[in-house]
Structure 1
């Protein structure tokens, strides 16, 4: 396919010549400005050094070690060529646009959102040129080495430089498009086409980057220059140095990475417990954390072995986050939605040629490839573990396999395919572990055949984030949302058009006032937070106890909620549910996405319920319920439970202004407990049994001795499961529950083991406890180990532990191990 316009005509029309760009008389790109001289002296470099880095980056962009005639690469390359051909055919340079549908002129827009749109369309224009450049360089695209395509890319760069992206043009709209998105694409293209660009053009493009991303952009670790954004800015600076032969820029970008590595105790970044925060109060491992992971992986690989290798000793802290922060939120090839914030609303777009929405599976695919890339710079032991981990994810993902994702980049596909095909790598299974991320109000519970995670909010962590028109109805995702997946079922639960079709007031596990909320309540980047601080929990690494003092979003509703995570179930308690909104308050036991035509059988107390859509019922004496192919639910002592089968229709544009307007319909089966209008001190108790059969669910309901609910009041929640040696208690207030007395509001867990030992875990979720006395009325022979915060311990007919100040431990678990009589 040939271009519908001539390069000469284009230059004549737009003035995009070397003279019009002001390129004549410009110093060669390899000549560093005087201001860079001192920094450049740190790493004297030759033209060959920069050329080697460009070759490395080219390989990182295009991939290696794959056959362009073998699948899935043959199809991916053909698709890339088809996209590039379409972009070239529709490219029509004109004042204010490079493509008719991507106008970037900024005629004093009425709203910030409009201005953001203009800058985004500029960024999209650069992205299209990058796609065209990759098609030119990659083999097997049908456009490999096509001179007309190369000329079109260069002409497009000239046009954007002349009109909107140069050192003489003012920035507008979203800062990200000018400082990260567009310069990254520009520098990538400059690497790919470097030999075809004059020194004058390269110098002009570098000046543009210098204007929008000066060294001062990374001078302070604050504002928009933290976490993933900082890594992106450093990538821009480093690539600007690689393109423009500037050692000083590479040094500046490399050294500016250092603040990313140390663990933080407030604000953006990684925490020692594995938490990752961006935008001050948003858990973001699946979003910005993934970007940071990918960015550092590529920069480490680029600079490794060069004069500018990243040798900061803190970089090992980042490598540690692979297993501490990333892996706990990846289950069988999907990245959990509760750490992806606005990303969960980015589904299908009208312009997507693949008709493939972004979802929890596709978000994980790039992360898995980044883990493998980072492994190349890790220890041999780490790399081996990570390869085995990634291979397990690849093998077990039956719903959205990474190697069948047409939107996954060719380079990432090649990296994952190599591990998948490597018979020397043995896939590792899902781990058995419980993790509390007390710095981002999340907990994950993982078993070989199921996984669960709870999402909470506090004075430190927002209920949700709304911005750029994204995530308009995510307001209750921090209200105790309990997501879970099975080994051979449920991987599609949140992937199959869940977010635009689900009732946002009935997310699984949440307690919510039905008070109507406007889309985007809290405003752009508002991150509405409750006033409650007691949110968190404790663990022994295998079982877990979590609790949330919940305050509703712009609501008078308050509740105390607890989750006790065991080997085959989660025990859920709630009490003190009080509201004065004038609306009903509900606790959603579960809300299963049955797909476009699913009819999973529902049994209540062993009686099969109707399967017709629109069916609803309330059962006053529900002891147990079972959804075929999903889970069992047991209600100790019985409860009045409502059930509903319904078809819900929605479009991605309903929750994201950039989404497709195409309507989708999905079937849902919902179980909930209605606490009534303006309840006072209402409560609930149920056991979730993921993957349980109907027979096993009924047996658990009949076993009255399996669970002892020690307390379910606004002051304390507690359970004891003798067969597991488990006691879990959340002391919202000091007091005595069962055999345990606590003098302060803490989360407590005790595990008694068959070898005659026990582990006691204590945490201070509210971060207010300056001293604690804990008494367990159980004969204890000796204390075998204790946390440094334990200032005293007495044993005998009972155990008394005295703790010092816990308030500065950020809600972490303090463990004590004892030997029993």
Structure 2
């Protein structure tokens, strides 16, 4: 009787596995590389794709699994390099293959593979690899991933105690629920009551690790529903509530906002649109296990209107009917950016007040080649020291690192009417740059202000008003104080006492009291490889070309107590921008 239950659940998981996996068999080369742990994981991933294709290559896959076992992933192998591949990446994929091929896989082979998984992922509670942190309790997405691995191993091995161990790992019964996925945290990794989600202790990660956690939990709930191991922890409501509290505010037209994707923004094959689709898929699956009241609301999900503060991770989001804005801040609590594993080599200023503007008329602005081509020194909203920077995370080992800031002031507050304000006490990284930066979010505008802006390093300081990805369109109309400007590429122009400017298809910019504005329309050429050389995520060397229009305020060399003020009018017309300038 128990064997029938195991098989029933394995059939259910196979259906879950196939629901969201597209196979592109023509692109798969059976080139097994075991030169390091990352390439080993990629080799298993190729085999999973072949297994999903179901094209009669079963014998080839069985032989390849034996090769990988004998030469790379076996119980007596030393866990070197990045622990994730050994304890999560490879075992998850290996077990997926075992589920898909369970009718064709010899019992002796399955026994060996399960023993290997047991060696590197015996439970969801602890990191197996030893180090200065040992013993390290697993948290957040890593715990959720490991719980699914343990559940699959238990089902494949007919081990009911192991399946129960996986279920209990979600709630962390081993350590008195300290690291339960079904409770709110007040520090470290997990969901916070204000909707924030943090992984790696200090990184805003709703749109990366958060989606991984949501997906794994949804799959476990669906897999074990109605079985002797069904998840009954009432705290699971934390995950159900997170759909509207944590994930929905960061979705724009199906895209997951980059402000909560950490180093994953540098991954060529993990765009905001891809992760948004993964989040929506996880929500759809989660609805099968959620109470009817949740599922009914999720069927009609829309962007929440108004201003939202995620104080625990230094993020704010402002939604209007036709546009949205997201602001990335940092502090002594939340990292400026995360790098490592060869990823996000140019993330220097992403947490220094980068302001994302999403427009219904241009939803693909960040999706379409933005990160490999944007000037990383001129991210909208930031105030920067123009020093040249070295790649971060290159040649610094295979771990990840969060770059922190010393300031305490970073965050926002909602005000009546669905509007809000945010503030950042900026300390330049590797610089004497200091500034007090503020933003006010209203019905149709974002006002940006800077005060006490000073530096003493002998370098020029800039505040970036805009840096818009125009794709291949070099002819967009640009107007300054009512006068259309030449659209010649590569020519930097300086304007004095500017009252307002307008960029066709983007919106308007108003400078109360006038400002000295610098404008540059240029073609930028980059590659994904230049920002991501990770073993399992490495970008290619194919040149990506995009036209950008950048606007910035030049504060001069080593400014003392400088300031600025400008108003962004997303989606505004030229005439509307002129009218607003006349009112201010």
> Does the pair score TM above 0.5?
yes
Equivalent residue number for residue 787 of structure 1: none
**For residues 699 and 521 of structure 1, what CA distance do their matches in structure 2 show?**
47
3-state SS of 2:343 partner: coil
3-state SS of 1:196 partner: coil
Equivalent residue number for residue 325 of structure 2: 452
**For residues 497 and 598 of structure 1, what CA distance do their matches in structure 2 show?**
16
**For residues 526 and 132 of structure 1, what CA distance do their matches in structure 2 show?**
35
3-state SS of 2:494 partner: strand
Task: Indicate yes or no: 2:294 matched with 1:382.
Answer: yes
Cα drift, residue 326 of structure 1: 0.5
1:197-250 residue CA offsets vs partner (Å, 9 max, x unmatched): 233222211111111112385489984711101111111111100110111111
Task: Indicate yes or no: 2:480 matched with 1:480.
Answer: no
Equivalent residue number for residue 200 of structure 1: 108
Equivalent residue number for residue 326 of structure 1: 247
Equivalent residue number for residue 586 of structure 1: 462
Task: Indicate yes or no: 2:544 matched with 1:636.
Answer: no
Equivalent residue for 1:241, pick from 154, 159, 180? 154
* Root-mean-square deviation over aligned CA pairs: 1.9
CA contact (8 A) 2:449 2:564 kept: yes
**For residues 550 and 692 of structure 1, what CA distance do their matches in structure 2 show?**
30
- The runs of 5 or more residues in structure 2 that have no matched partner are 129-133, 172-179
Could you state the TM-score of these two structures normalised by the residue count of structure 2? 0.93
Could you state the TM-score of these two structures normalised by the residue count of structure 1? 0.67
- Label 1:513 to 1:239 Cα distance change in 2 as closer, same or farther (>3 A): same
589-598 or 293-302: bigger deviation: 589-598
1:689-744 residue CA offsets vs partner (Å, 9 max, x unmatched): 1000011111011013xxxxxxxxxxxxxxxxxxxxxxxxxxxxxxxxxxxxxxxx
Cα drift, residue 192 of structure 1: 1.3
Equivalent residue number for residue 176 of structure 2: none
Equivalent residue number for residue 53 of structure 2: 135
Equivalent residue number for residue 174 of structure 2: none
Equivalent residue for 1:653, pick from 522, 529, 535? 529
**For residues 663 and 287 of structure 1, what CA distance do their matches in structure 2 show?**
26
Equivalent residue number for residue 542 of structure 2: 662
Cα drift, residue 607 of structure 1: 0.7
Number of residue pairs matched?
Answer: 563
CA contact (8 A) 1:545 1:562 kept: yes
Equivalent residue for 1:550, pick from 419, 426, 435? 426
Task: Indicate yes or no: 2:557 matched with 1:690.
Answer: no
Equivalent residue number for residue 124 of structure 1: 42
**For residues 51 and 299 of structure 1, what CA distance do their matches in structure 2 show?**
16
**For residues 488 and 501 of structure 1, what CA distance do their matches in structure 2 show?**
21
- The runs of 5 or more residues in structure 1 that have no matched partner are 1-44, 65-75, 92-98, 106-117, 137-142, 348-356, 390-427, 705-821
Equivalent residue number for residue 504 of structure 1: 376
1:639-661 residue CA offsets vs partner (Å, 9 max, x unmatched): 11111111111111111111111
Equivalent residue number for residue 528 of structure 1: 403
CA contact (8 A) 1:441 1:456 kept: yes
CA contact (8 A) 2:205 2:261 kept: yes
**For residues 422 and 575 of structure 2, what CA distance do their matches in structure 1 show?**
29
**For residues 107 and 401 of structure 2, what CA distance do their matches in structure 1 show?**
46
**For residues 676 and 383 of structure 1, what CA distance do their matches in structure 2 show?**
55
CA contact (8 A) 1:528 1:553 kept: no
Equivalent residue number for residue 177 of structure 2: none
Equivalent residue number for residue 300 of structure 1: 221
Equivalent residue number for residue 307 of structure 2: 434
**For residues 275 and 168 of structure 1, what CA distance do their matches in structure 2 show?**
40
Equivalent residue number for residue 227 of structure 1: 140
- Label 1:122 to 1:447 Cα distance change in 2 as closer, same or farther (>3 A): same
**For residues 695 and 267 of structure 1, what CA distance do their matches in structure 2 show?**
49
3-state SS of 2:330 partner: coil
**For residues 181 and 263 of structure 2, what CA distance do their matches in structure 1 show?**
22
Equivalent residue number for residue 175 of structure 2: none
**For residues 214 and 506 of structure 1, what CA distance do their matches in structure 2 show?**
46
Equivalent residue number for residue 702 of structure 1: 582
- Label 1:290 to 1:154 Cα distance change in 2 as closer, same or farther (>3 A): same
Equivalent residue number for residue 710 of structure 1: none
Cα drift, residue 196 of structure 1: 1.6
**For residues 240 and 123 of structure 1, what CA distance do their matches in structure 2 show?**
18
Task: Indicate yes or no: 2:265 matched with 1:344.
Answer: yes
Moved over 6 A (4+): 219-222
3-state SS of 2:338 partner: coil
Cα drift, residue 521 of structure 1: 6.9
What pairs up with 1:334-413 in 2 under 5 angstroms? Answer: 334-347=255-268, 357-389=269-301
Equivalent residue number for residue 57 of structure 1: 13
- Label 1:223 to 1:585 Cα distance change in 2 as closer, same or farther (>3 A): farther
**For residues 125 and 555 of structure 1, what CA distance do their matches in structure 2 show?**
44
